[in-house]
Structure 1
Amino acid sequence: MHPLDSDQLRTLVAIAESGSFTRAAEAVHKTQSAVSMQMKRLEERLGREIFAKAGRGVRLTDDGERLLDYARRIVRLQTECLATFDEGDLVGRVRLGLPDDYADRYLPEILGRFARTHPRAEVTVVCEPTDMLADRIADGDIDLAIVTEAKGRRNVETIRTEALLWVTSSRHAVHTEEPVPLALGRPDCNWRRAAIETLERGGRQSRILFVSWNSTAVGAAVLAGLAVSVLPESAVRAGMRVLGPSDGFAGLPGCRIGLMRHRTGEPNPLADILAGQIRQCLDNLGMAAE
């Protein structure tokens, strides 16, 4: 058995992350024909088809999805190994902002990976709502921000999508009350607006019982059986029950998580590296055909 070519695996990951052979070719600094040839040789090496036709483009087959999982891990380990030797001596500070609920879910992996590859770098973390983080990015107070995307917000790179779900306590029946008691964010919160508008379209009355931009506090109100709230799928905790149409709660719009970057025109290698690692940690975007 000949080992897999790591360069081919890196190209496969680039195709999945960029959504097309064309953009992947730019990312790996190859021609599109060279990328196509690499994928053909990879299929020949495995004896399996990893791409299938999808309209005018292509999609990953089931075997391709399985290979992509291994490819990402192999490329990640190789990148971290090289970074340890090539860039591990980078010294400086990078400033990252994100809402507290994203910090709970994603920060351990992000910080752990960055600390392994750049042990001498300092990371300053700020936990605030998306609107405040966007202002900090604009003012140059932070270098990077993981935010909840909203229509009209510019300079945001989508890195993850999730379903937004209604949640209540699994031990209480507060969701049957009229009007429905809600635990939500502040008035400018997109999830709050989506929740209220969805209930109104369904003819249900609601009342705001608890307000906080801190997800731990909102979660406490839900777990205590005081109110219903909305959370991204990955934030649903033990003790919570997801509500659906059969419970009188219609579907909500999806949640898009994005990455914002303060641009100064000057090189910031630590921010570049951290941004790349954040994309790898949060990425769950399927490959779009071109």
Structure 2
Amino acid sequence: MHPLDSDQLRTLVAIAETGSFTRAAEAVNKTQSAVSMQMKRLEERIGREIFCKAGRGVRLTDDGERLLDYARRIVRLQAECLSTFAEADLAGRVRLGLPDDYADRYLPEILGRFARAHPRAEVTVVCEPTDMLADRIADGDIDLAIVTEAKGPTQEQRRRQIETIRTEALLWVTSSRHAVHGESPVPLALGRPACNWRRAAIEALERGGRRSRILFVSWNSTAVGAAVLAGLAVSVLPESALRSGMRVLGPQDGFAALPACRIGLMRHHAEEPNPLADILAGQIRQCLGNLGLAAE
């Protein structure tokens, strides 16, 4: 199997983004006939038709749409790879925000890669809940933020700025050595009232007709985990945050399934470009996208 030609894939992306062969030819600095020849060779390479007629123009076939998804990822990854080596001597500062539970799980890998590639760069890390990080992004206090996505009319405008980079199961957890989950009302260890996971947990219990009481409140995941491991309360955590000594609860235990946990990336769009922020964003996408779950 011969590898795909990245130049042909870049042209395919340009056609999809500009909507025509003519404008794509201008974008990739080629003649229209050269663009047409590239697409013909790409079709021959994969053995499928990429385009079909649509009135006076053309549109992508289903196979073309599938290929476009791969093309975008390959082109983006190639650009990130080249920029990492081309800009290895970049100096400056980039500011990253994330909740403390994400910091425990993701920061070692993210910072390790970034520091090795850009030893002259300074990274400032802020650990706060998602709502506070969204405000910091809007005010320009930080460049990037790893956040928990949530639906809601008051957050819809912010959600439009969030790029989903990871989805995990949100799970009920209790101590594997205690039976606190059988108590009524169920004692809970959760985040502050604005926490999306807290709202999801309480709503799920109410729908199931189970009584509960908030026993511990903290935005610090270590404190919440300590209450769980001590057998004092039940909580909710993403799958990758499970720790030794925790047991997952399900419908058979009287705990209904919870909505998925979507982790997103927010960017502050400053007037001046920040190459370090661009590179760190790419490494965050790669690290979280490749991170395996305990159940896999």
Q: Fold match, TM over 0.5? A: yes
Consecutive aligned runs of 4 or more in structure 1 exceeding 3 Å deviation? 1-85, 284-290
Contiguous gaps of at least 5 residues in structure 2: 153-158
Q: SS state of the match for residue 269, structure 2? A: coil
Taking the TM superposition and a 5 Å limit, the aligned residue runs for 1:56-67 are none
Is 1:243–2:249 an aligned residue pair?
Answer: yes
Tell me: higher relative CO, structure 1 or 2? Use CA pairs within 8 A at least 6 residues apart: 1
* Corresponding residue for residue 70 of structure 2: 70
CA contact (8 A) 2:51 2:59 kept: yes
Q: Name which of structure 1's ranges 144-153 and 42-51 shifts more when overlaid on structure 2.
A: 42-51
Structure number, greater radius of gyration: 2
Residues 1:238 and 1:118: Cα distance change in structure 2 (over 3 Å): same
- C-alpha change, 1:266 and 1:222, in structure 2 (3 Å) is same
1:14-41 deviation per Cα after TM superposition (whole angstroms, max 9, x unaligned): 9999999999999999999999999998
Question: Comparing 278-287 with 193-202, which one deviates more in the overlay?
Answer: 278-287
Aligned partners of 1:148 and 1:256 also within 8 Å: yes
- Contact kept, 8 Å, 2:110 with 2:287, in 1: the verdict is yes
Kindly indicate whether residue 213 of structure 2 is the aligned counterpart of residue 210 of structure 1: no
Deviations 1:120-157 (A, max 9, x none): 11111101111111111111110110111112444212
> Does the 8 Å contact 1:97/1:146 carry over to 2?
yes
Distance 1:73 1:259, change over 3 A: closer
How far 1:178 moved relative to its partner? 0.8
Change (3 A) 1:285 1:42: farther
Q: CA deviation at 1:94?
A: 0.3
What RMSD in Å do the two structures reach over aligned CA positions?
6.5
What SS does structure 2 have at the residue aligned with 1:181? strand
Q: Over residues 204-223 of structure 1, what are the superposed CA-to-partner deviations in whole Å (9 max), with x where a residue is unaligned?
A: 11111111000011111111
* Greater Cα shift, 22-31 or 265-274: 22-31
Residues 20 and 287 in structure 1, CA contact (< 8 A), matched pair in contact too: no
Q: Give, in whole Å, the separation in 2 of the partners of 1:242 and 1:26.
A: 55
Count of matched residue positions in the alignment of Structure 1 and Structure 2: 290
Q: Do the aligned partners of residues 283 and 194 (structure 1) sit closer, same or farther apart at CA in structure 2, a change above 3 Å counting?
A: same
Stretch deviating more after TM superposition (260-269 or 191-200): 260-269
CA–CA separation in structure 1 for the residues paired with 2:256 and 2:28: 43
* 1:197, distance to aligned residue in structure 2 (A): 1.0
| Map of 1:177 onto structure 2 | 183
Instruction: Give the TM-score normalised by the residue count of structure 1.
Output: 0.75
Question: Compared with structure 1, are the counterparts of its residues 204 and 121 closer, same or farther at alpha carbon in structure 2 (3 Å cutoff)?
Answer: same
Q: 8 Å contact 2:240–2:293 — kept in the other structure? A: no
Using the TM superposition, give the Cα deviation of residue 116 of structure 1 relative to its aligned residue in structure 2, in angstroms. Answer: 2.2
Kept in 2: contact 1:171–1:239 (CA 8 A)? yes
257 and 177 in structure 1: CA distance in 2 versus 1, 3 angstrom threshold = same
Give 3-state SS (helix, strand or coil) of 2:210's partner.
Answer: coil
> By how many angstroms is 1:245 displaced?
0.2
Q: Distance in 1 between matches of 2:22 and 2:204?
A: 39
> Percent identity, aligned pairs only?
91
| Conserved? CA contact 2:80–2:282, under 8 Å | no
SS at match of 1:37: helix
1:46 is displaced (CA, Å) by 9.5
Residues 137-195 of structure 1, C-alpha deviation per residue, up to 9 Å, x if partnerless? Answer: 11111011011111244421211111111001111111111110100001111111111
Contact 1:15/1:287, CA 8 A, preserved across alignment: no
Deviates more, 1:242-251 or 1:109-118: 109-118
Following superposition of structure 1 onto structure 2, how do residues 60-139 of structure 1 map, counting pairs within 5 Å?
82-139=82-139
Residue 15 to residue 144, structure 1, CA distance change in 2 (3 Å): farther
Change (3 A) 1:227 1:142: same
Q: Secondary structure at the match of 2:160?
A: coil
Q: Distance in 1 between matches of 2:246 and 2:55?
A: 40
Q: Give the conservation status (yes or no) of the 8 Å contact 1:161–1:285.
A: no
